[in-house]
């Protein structure tokens, strides 16, 4: 069967993903508690992507079907609206990480995966002046003094009053895993409340791990619940470069946890054996 991205996946792999990614009616997500358990199981999950994009998604899990496509008019669509409500509740609960990370990918991260993502994308305090823009540094200085602020107040207090410049700086701080949204309010007007990531996940962000280990663990996490990965898939889902995704996947092959039947394709070892047996029995 061809995926929405044009890659052929064996039916057994699609069924494996149906179970793990909650792409079945009987497994669909309805509550924030279920969503948090799903994120913990999968490790990292997109929020509002549909079947046209690779990887697991809270929206698809809310729909409970493999071919879920988000309609143009999302405001009137009950499934996308429910996903958005769950996202807001998960934000407020603060039990899983949520933010716009590398390459502008907005995703949830299970606490157990935070050290690995931080090892790849995080910016240490000693590197902030070198790596962060002046606007990002101004926002960060204000947040470290106030701890939590709404968008409008943070823009005024930091002096970064231009909306586009502020958005770029906030995105930069999110991608560096320094700042996260802690809540969203709709009255008197729509606004995110921003806070420091270390305030929510201090122990996880303090863990020191090397980059190669982090790449391996991100690859392991994805392969565990995807069953197999085709060329470029892990890179797209996690926001990695293709060489970095390859480093992670190749480490799994060296551990005999995965096989690579062709360039860029990796299959979980036990599933590879099942696929071989299935192919042999049908021959």
pLDDT tens track for 107-120: 999 999 999 999 99
pLDDT tens track for 138-168: 999 999 999 999 999 999 999 999 999 999 9
Q: What is the pLDDT along the chain (283 residues), one digit of tens a residue?
A: 444 455 789 999 999 999 999 999 999 999 999 999 999 999 999 999 999 999 999 999 999 999 999 888 767 789 999 999 999 999 999 999 999 998 888 999 999 999 999 999 999 999 999 999 999 999 999 999 999 999 999 999 999 999 999 999 999 999 999 999 999 999 888 899 999 999 999 999 999 999 999 999 999 999 999 999 999 999 999 999 999 999 999 999 999 999 999 999 999 998 988 877 655 555 4
3-state secondary structure string across the chain? CECCCCCECCHHHHHHHHHHCCCCHHHCCCCHHHHHHHHHHHCEEECCCCCCCCCCEHHHHHHCCCCCCCCCCHHHCHHHHHHHHHHHHHHHHCCCEEEECHHHCEEEECHHHHHHHHHHHCCCHHHHHHHCCHHHHHHHHHHHHHCEEEHHHHHHHHCCCCHHHHHHHHHHHHHCCCEEEEEEECCCCCEEEEEEHHHHCHHHHHCCCCHHHHHHHHHHHHHHHHCEECCCHHHHHHCCCHHHHHHHHHHHHHCCCEEEEECCEEEEHHHHHHHHHHHHHHC
| Domains along the chain with CATH numbers | 11-112 (no CATH), 123-176+178-206 (1.10.10.10), 211-282 (1.10.10.10)
């Amino acid at each position: 069967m061809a995926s929405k991205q044009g890659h052929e996946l064996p039916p057994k792999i699609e069924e494996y993903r149906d179970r793990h990614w909650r792409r079945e009616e009987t497994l669909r997500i309805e509550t924030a508690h279920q969503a948090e358990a799903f994120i913990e199981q999968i490790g990292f999950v997109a929020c509002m992507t549909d079947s046209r994009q690779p990887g697991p998604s809270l929206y698809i899990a809310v729909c409970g079907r493999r071919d879920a496509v988000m309609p143009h008019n999302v405001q009137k669509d009950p499934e996308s609206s429910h996903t958005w409500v769950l996202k807001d509740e998960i934000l407020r609960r603060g039990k899983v990480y949520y933010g716009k990370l590398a390459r502008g990918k907005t995703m949830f991260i299970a606490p157990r995966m935070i050290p690995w993502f931080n090892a790849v994308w995080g910016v240490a305090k000693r590197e902030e002046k070198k790596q962060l823009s002046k606007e990002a540094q101004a926002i960060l200085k204000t947040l470290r003094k106030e701890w939590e602020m709404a968008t409008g107040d943070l823009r005024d207090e930091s002096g970064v009053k231009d909306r586009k410049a502020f958005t770029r700086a906030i995105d930069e701080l999110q991608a560096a895993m320094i700042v996260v949204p802690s809540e969203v309010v709709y009255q008197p007007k729509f606004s995110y409340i921003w806070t420091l990531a270390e305030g929510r996940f201090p122990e996880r962000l303090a863990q020191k791990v090397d980059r190669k280990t982090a790449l391996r663990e991100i690859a392991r996490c994805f392969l565990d619940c995807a069953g197999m990965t085709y060329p470029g898939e892990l890179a797209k889902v996690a926001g990695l470069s293709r060489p970095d995704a390859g480093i992670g996947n190749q480490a799994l092959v060296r551990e005999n946890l995965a096989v690579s039947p062709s360039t860029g394709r990796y299959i979980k070892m036990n599933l590879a054996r099942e696929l071989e047996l299935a192919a042999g029995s049908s021959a």
